């Protein structure tokens, strides 16, 4: 546990000296960790939605095949903010089958632009970032509790 604490303190001073973040209290650290947890959880939800709609040939909103969704994140002084959700502009998969009811006048039908291997890679990366934020939150909590014990 002491090695993790030293690593956290080193990273904190490194980041602070580079000007990326200015933590003034442990409460700021809690807020930054929570914003990361919320953002990564939101990204996991979008990956799940993308995978669930892997074979949705017609979206109710657009009339097109399902378009992959991704989160737009922005860094702030106290963590990360979810700015919104955007749809991918990658081309749809095009397949020739004139007998399919979804085919156009040329005999082609289109599949969503969701790529399963890419979604799994995104999910694994998002899970790792989620776990890192949870561990940083736990470490901040331990530091907060240690501070309270020292003040008694």
Quick check: 96 and 107 in contact, CB under 8 A?
A: yes
Q: What values do phi and psi take at 109, rounded to 5?
A: -130, 160
Task: Say if 100 falls within a structural domain.
Answer: yes
| Strand bridging mode 93-96 / 69-76 | unpaired
Task: Say if 10 falls within a structural domain.
Answer: no
Task: Say if 18 falls within a structural domain.
Answer: no
**113-126 pLDDT per residue, tens:** 999 999 999 999 99
Task: Say if 135 falls within a structural domain.
Answer: yes
| Strand bridging mode 79-87 / 93-96 | unpaired
Give the total number of structural domains in the chain.
Answer: 1
**40-51 pLDDT per residue, tens:** 999 999 999 999
Task: Say if 72 falls within a structural domain.
Answer: yes
Task: Say if 71 falls within a structural domain.
Answer: yes
Which tokens hold the place of 33? 């960790």
Domain containing 114: what range? 24-151
Helix (H, G, I), strand (E, B) or coil at 84: strand
Predicted confidence at residue 82, as pLDDT, reads: 92
Kindly tell me if the per-residue pLDDT of 10 is higher than 60. no
Task: Say if 107 falls within a structural domain.
Answer: yes
């Amino acid at each position: 546990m002491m090695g993790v604490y030293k690593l956290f303190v080193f990273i904190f001073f490194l980041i602070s000296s580079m000007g990326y973040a200015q933590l003034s209290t442990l409460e700021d650290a809690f807020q930054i960790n929570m914003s990361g947890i919320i953002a990564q959880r939101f990204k996991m939800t979008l990956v799940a939605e993308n995978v669930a709609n892997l074979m949705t040939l017609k979206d109710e909103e657009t009339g097109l095949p399902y378009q992959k969704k991704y989160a737009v994140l922005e860094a702030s002084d106290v963590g990360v903010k979810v700015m919104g959700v955007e749809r991918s502009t990658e081309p749809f998969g095009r397949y020739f089958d004139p007998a399919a009811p979804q085919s156009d006048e040329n005999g082609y039908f289109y599949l969503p632009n969701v790529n399963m291997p890419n979604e799994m890679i995104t999910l694994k990366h998002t899970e790792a970032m989620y776990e890192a934020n949870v561990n940083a939150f736990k470490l901040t909590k331990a530091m907060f509790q240690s501070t309270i014990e020292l003040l008694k």
